[in-house]
Structure 1
Amino acid sequence: MCGFVSVYHKYGQPVQPEEIERMADQIHHRGPDDTHFYVEDHIGFGFKRLSIIDLAHGRQPLCNEDGTIWIVFNGEIYNYKELQQWLKDKGHQFKTNSDTETIVHLYEEVGFDTPKYLRGMFAFTIWDLNKQQYFGARDHFGIKPLYYTETARGFHFASEIKCLLELEDLSPDVNTSALYQYLTFQYNPYTETFFKGIHKVLPGHCFLIRNDRLDIRPYWQVHFDPDESKPLSYYIDQTRAIMENSIQYHRQADVPLGAFLSSGVDSSTTAGLLRNHGPLKTFSIGFALGQNELPYARRTAEHFGTEHYELEVTPQMFIDELPQIIWHMDEPLADPAAIPLYFVSKLARDYVTVVLSGEGADEFFGGYGIYREPNALRPFNYMPKGLRKMLGSIASNLPNVKGKNYIIRGSKDLQERFFGNAFIFSEEMKREVLTSWVNQQTQHLHPLDITLPIYENASMYDDVTKMQYLDIHTWLPGDILLKADKMSMANSLELRVPFLDKEVFEVASKIPTKYKIAGGTTKFVLREAMKDLLPKEIHMRPKLGFPVPTRHWLKNEFYLWAMEILSTSQIDQYINKRMAIQLLSDHKEGKADYSRRIWTILCFALWHQIYIEKQALHLLNNVTISKIS
């Protein structure tokens, strides 16, 4: 696990070592154990290492025997030992026992098919001196990030955006298209980032630079293939077996290892299966206010017999760290769950270097409550479309009565009503909260520009599977995995996600929907597969998400702080601040719950202050809230 920067200059222009070093310095948190560089003519690599496997010999950048192929790599390859043996049988000579060197020799053997062979999380770039080509890839589901930009000098890649901002010919400028979609999704679903000219390599994609031209293409695609011929028991057994297998692979490490533990099925499954292999440290986070996860996590830890550590986050702790968290995130992310993830990572890093967590179970096994909606709305399927639209129009003009939202959602097709697990501002509200200048810049944009092409690729599936397919391509990499990577690496902690394994997906992709959404609950197969492992109160506990009390805090402890951020941030070019302040005031007075919308604007405002207004020093060191109650 690490962070890297990687540079290819066009026209043979030499790379300046000082620039590579300056870029790499921005991600010291990703790799505090070692720093190393490789610069040769128009190629440059910078590497920050968090030592996990082959501590003595796994230093990067790393090359093959004759120094003609060089690599920088971020992640872990869990099947590297099998690949290593296969490559040795073919005559390849290894000088380390690292998974990094396995990728180098695999590339020598299979070339551009390299990422197809890898089981794990990864982002890497390879320089092939003999063929004069620059190759790289990002893992199947987007667990590890990979950003890039093209300047007049060449192509620059990095594990975090802040590295690219150190380039002398790149200045940060707000990408209004990303802002527009962010207000819908609470994250940026674009291939472009919030910074103009900086892009993401998408999950399951690789790239090739040859003759100074960049070509990006998919090497793998998500495909569901439900098999109705097998009984429920078959999928229960298969799920248990593949998760035990995945845990076995994911526990490979030469450093201490632990697990995050909440009150849900996913983390409890991970911790329980991991505990079967020996003593285990577990880590939990909670808040005194509202739905506190800590008592449930504590009972689960007692059930498994783990060495358990927990932390209760106060409002002041939350707000003290928020600017630092947003700096680490690189882009605005309005998911409050990022903050407890930061704190639990900070807690865990005092005891271990690697943790396992439960991300991905919901997307693979059908775990979100919203996935039950197609069944609930089934009566509308028997109505003519015109009648449905008419009912929706009538319902939208009704006062807030019971059943109004049900009729409105039932009147819409799936593509119209489901944009993923978060939907913050409607198009009408976005036009009000954005300035006329932004509205003019983005007048042809719509969230459907993001989601419809994905729905079209999933046209052969039932509605629940379409929702899973959409979430795997948007919500999972854009929100869940973004915060998982950035919040753990902010604390120099490697986070592994055994559900997000291509072999696990191979099993999950074959489960019929009737077995995913069954028994009055979600991810039914997974629950049944772990029935004998989990405490009874966890086995059938509904999906809750992570309950962060921002609704209460924005009325009380955070109110004056939020008002100051909205008033002083220089976002007038983008946000109608008068309306944003009115939302905050109305929320405080209890007129409506606007907490998610306010939080979305606040995260953008803080990001703007840190990255555009350059107020980082002030914000990262001088934050207080109005009162604590």
Structure 2
Amino acid sequence: MCGLLGLLTSNASAKDVVDAVGQASHCMRHRGPDEPGTWHDDDLALGFNRLSIIDIEHSHQPLRWGPAENPTRYALVFNGEIYNYLELRETLARDHGATFATEGDGEAIVAAFHVWGDDAVRRLRGMFAFALWDTEKRELFLARDPFGIKPLFYSTGPSGTAFASEKKSILELFETLGVEDHLDPRALQHYAVLQYVPEPESLHASIRRLESGCTARLTPGSDPVVTRYFRPSFPVRPVPSGTEDARYREIAAALEDSVAKHMRADVTVGSFLSGGIDSTAIAALAMRHNPDLITFTTGFEREGYSEVDVAAESAAAIGAKHVIKVVGPEEFAASIPEIVWYLDDPVADPALVPLYFVAKEARKHVKVVLSGEGADELFGGYTIYREPLSLGAFDKLPGGLRRAAGRLSERIPEGTRGKSLLHRGSMTLEDRYYGNARSFNDAQLRSVLRDFRPEWNHQDVTAPIYRESRGWDPVARMQHLDLFTWLRGDILVKADKITMANSLELRVPFLDSEVFAVAEQLPLEQKITKSTTKYALRRALDGIVPEHVLNRAKLGFPVPLRHWLRGPELFDWARQQIVDSQTDHLLDKAAVTRMLEDHRDGRSDHSRRLWTVLVFMIWHGIFVEKRIRPAIAEPTYPVRL
């Protein structure tokens, strides 16, 4: 787990820019405080910040490797972990004569690429973003893991292409690249609707993200040529009657194997633990490999908004040592500018804040944590996935009747029982399901965003994804959409950026190729029923997780934002953010203030929309106005834990 940065030049010698690359990589020092490094040849300058997890004394980066006839042919910078690196090294040595100078996973990537070319990425079981330079072909190969666990930004200008784990490092190189710094208005509108900036966009028009499951090739002076190598298919394999238990054992075995491989490290590994089934399952399986496992959870100073008690009960049930961090509203608000700086682009998910504090607490004890992200997308865990069951009758209606139901819903007063059911039932899945989050609708957004464009809507993002899933069952289509939207736009962004802000490596065993291979074959009735979600996963985990968690509803780390924005905890803070923000050309601040006052007075619940705007205002204050300057300290963590 590290931070990488590179600049492939097009009209200058890389030795003239390597110092600038080294300086720009310093703002990612939190990603790798153990060891910085740079390297260059004529065309490429690389910078790196290492967080030492495997083969601590060696495996330095930028890493050089090559075959016997040219042992320094390749240069690699790599962020992430390859969990099957031992098996890959054995295969490459036995069948292809590869030799290795370290005990780490980086050399396995380079040797695999040398032997199998682009197909090597399909053999990597792990989380990764890497840049691999071939000094013979003078060609750069970029790659990102299938689910987008690790980030990779890039920007191309007259002087070359820069790429990095974090956007802020590329911003430091804009002058070197000859790139202009301006905001992307379409990305802003997408953010306002979805609560995150969808891939491949970023709020800086000149910076884009290499999408999850993609690779890119480029040479000096060329633009990146992007290729997708991972496309989920959800090839449903019905469960023959009487063989359900074998399917559950298959799920449990895949997950247990994934956790075992995710425990590979030369440092201490802990686990996050909320009150839900996903993190509890990971922690319980991790205990089989480390009986001294430490688990971590967080809660808030408000009754009803804490998973602390359930998490503590779960930790006791599995025999883990447990650490709790409680967050109050003052430190919640004070942390926002720092968190937004680490994020690079705004993400309007208040769960970022408790994650930040529990990660900070965990880093005092461990260097790696496991977590339960991805279980909902793979196994059908979100409550919204049950909606097709309740709307099934509408699917049988002729189009005219469905449209009539929609018109009828418009005449029913707000708050009347059945209005929402009629409205949503009249819509197709493509129209009603944006993914697992939505903040503003068009009417609300038109009142707040000064340059609202109706043509810049959610279908920019969702339509291409829906086209790939035609003919699938509706729950599989929703899962597929969330894999490419909510998961990689929100869940994995906060998982990476917020733990890395604390120099902590987060690993997600559910998002493993072998676990996905089992999960994608589940039929609808093994994912969603009228009474529960993640049906097959719950059955598979019976006997692994404590009984009090097995059928518990999903909560995660709930945040009392709605209450705090109405009271003295956050109302005055929020109003001051609106007053101070220099975003009048982008937002109708008077309309935002009215939203805040309506929320305070209980006329409407605008908490999600207000948070979306407030986070953007803080982002704008940091990255555009330069008015807000978070105090980012030098990491002081020990190398080993």
The partner residue of 2:206 within 173, 194, 197 is: 197
1:68-147 counterparts in 2 under 5 A?
68-89=73-94, 90-147=96-153
2:321 matches 1:307: yes
Matching residue of 1:245: 257
Match of 1:6 in 2: 6
Aligned position for 1:626: none
Taking the aligned partners of 1:172 and 1:325, their CA distance within structure 2 comes to 22
Displacement of 1:229 in angstroms is 4.4
Q: How many residue pairs end up in the alignment?
A: 617
**Residues 1:262 and 2:274 are matched in the alignment:** yes
Contact 2:339/2:353 (<8 A) preserved:
yes
Letter in 2 for 1:21: G
Q: Distance in 2 between matches of 1:157 and 1:126?
A: 12
- The answer to whether the Cα contact below 8 Å between 1:2 and 1:48 also exists between their aligned partners in 2 is yes
Q: Is the 8 A contact 2:405 2:422 kept in 1?
A: yes
Aligned equivalents of 1:474, 1:367: Cα separation in 2 = 16
2:186 equivalent to 1:177 = yes
Q: How does 1:307-346 map to 2 (within 5 A)?
A: 307-346=321-360
Does 2:443 align with 1:428? yes
The alpha carbon displacement at 1:402 in A equals: 1.4
Deviation sequence 1:114-162 (CA, Å, 0-9, x none): 2111000000001101111111100010000000000100110000000
* TM score, norm. by length of structure 2: 0.94
Q: After TM superposition, which residue ranges in structure 1, 4 or more long, deviate above 4 angstroms?
A: 618-621
| Maintained 8 Å contact 1:363/1:472 | yes
Residue 60 of structure 2 aligns with an amino acid whose one-letter code is R
- Does the 8 A contact of 1:360 with 1:500 survive in 2? yes
Aligned to 2:614: 602
Question: 1:616 Cα deviation (Å)?
Answer: 3.1
The 5 A counterparts of 1:579-618 are: 579-617=591-629
Deviation, structure 1 residue 544? 2.3
CA distance in 2, matches of 1:606, 1:186: 14
Equivalent residues of 2:442, 2:454 under 8 A apart: no
Tell me which amino acid in the other structure corresponds to 2:211.
L
SS at match of 1:4: strand
Equivalent in the alignment of 1:212: 221
Moved more, 228-237 or 318-327: 228-237
Decide which of 271, 279, 283 is 2:292's aligned counterpart: 279
Gap change, CA 1:428 and 1:174, over 3 Å in 2:
same
* TM-fit CA distance, 1:444: 2.6
Distance 2:538 2:74 in 1: 46
Bigger mean CA offset, 294-303 vs 16-25? 16-25
Equivalent residue, structure 1, for 2:638: none
Contact 1:13 1:153 in 2 (8 A): no
Instruction: Find the residue that maps to 2:629 and give its secondary structure.
Output: helix
In the alignment, which residue of structure 1 is the partner of 2:639? none
- The alpha-carbon deviation at position 88 of structure 1 amounts to 1.1
Assess if the C-alpha contact under 8 Å between 2:276 and 2:554 holds in 1.
yes
Is 405-414 or 358-367 further displaced after alignment? 405-414
> 1:519, 1:446 → 2: CA distance?
32
Residue 402 (str. 1) matches residue 417 (str. 2): yes
Distance in 1 separating the partners of 2:199 and 2:10: 27
Percent of aligned pairs with the same residue?
Answer: 42
Counterpart selection for 2:235 from 197, 221, 225: 225
Q: Match of 1:222, as an amino acid?
A: P
Deviation at 1:620, TM superposition (A): 7.3
* Alignment partner of 1:568 out of 576, 580, 602: 580
Quote how far apart the aligned CAs of 1:446 are. Answer: 1.3
Is 2:458 the counterpart of 1:447?
yes
- The answer for the alignment partner of 2:557 in structure 1 is 546
- State the alpha-carbon separation in 1 of the partners of residues 115 and 199 from structure 2: 34
Q: 1:46 corresponds to which residue?
A: 47
CA contact (8 A) 2:8 2:220 kept: no
Q: How far off is 1:71 after superposition? A: 0.4
Residues 274 and 556 of structure 2 are in contact (CA less than 8 Å); yes or no, is this contact kept in structure 1? no
Name the aligned partner's letter for residue 475 of structure 2. V
- Quote how far apart the aligned CAs of 1:431 are: 1.4
Deviation readout 1:29-76 (Å, 9 max, x if unpaired): 000000111011221110100000000001100111422210000000
2:163 to 157, 173, 193: 157
SS of structure 2 residue aligned to 1:193:
coil
* Structure 1 equivalent of residue 362 of structure 2: 348
Map of 1:532 onto structure 2 = 543
Structure 1 counterpart of 2:503: 492
Checking the alignment, whether the CA contact within 8 Å between 1:301 and 1:308 is kept in structure 2 is yes
SS at 1:522's partner residue?
Answer: coil
How many angstroms apart in 2 are the aligned matches of 1:593 and 1:620? 34
RMSD: 1.3
CA distance in 2, matches of 1:342, 1:397: 45
Q: Structure 1 stretches of 5 or more lacking a match?
A: 622-629
Provide Cα deviations, 1:528-580, integer angstroms capped at 9, x if missing partner: 11111222221001122431011011111111111111111011111111110
Amino acid at match of 2:549: I
Q: Which runs of 5+ in 2 are unaligned?
A: 634-641
Asked if the contact 1:31/1:48 (under 8 Å) is kept, the reply is yes
| Cα distance, 1:11 vs structure 2 | 4.0
- Tell me the CA shift for residue 443 of structure 1: 4.7
* Cα separation, 2, equivalents of 1:345 and 1:618: 19
Question: Shift of the alpha carbon at 1:422?
Answer: 0.7
Relative to the length of structure 1, the TM-score reads 0.96
The residue type paired with residue 470 of structure 1 is L
Distance of 1:380 and 1:519 partners within structure 2:
17
C-alpha separation between the residues in 2 aligned to 1:620 and 1:96? 34
In the TM superposition, residue 618 of structure 1 has moved relative to its aligned partner by 6.5
The amino acid that maps onto 1:71 is L
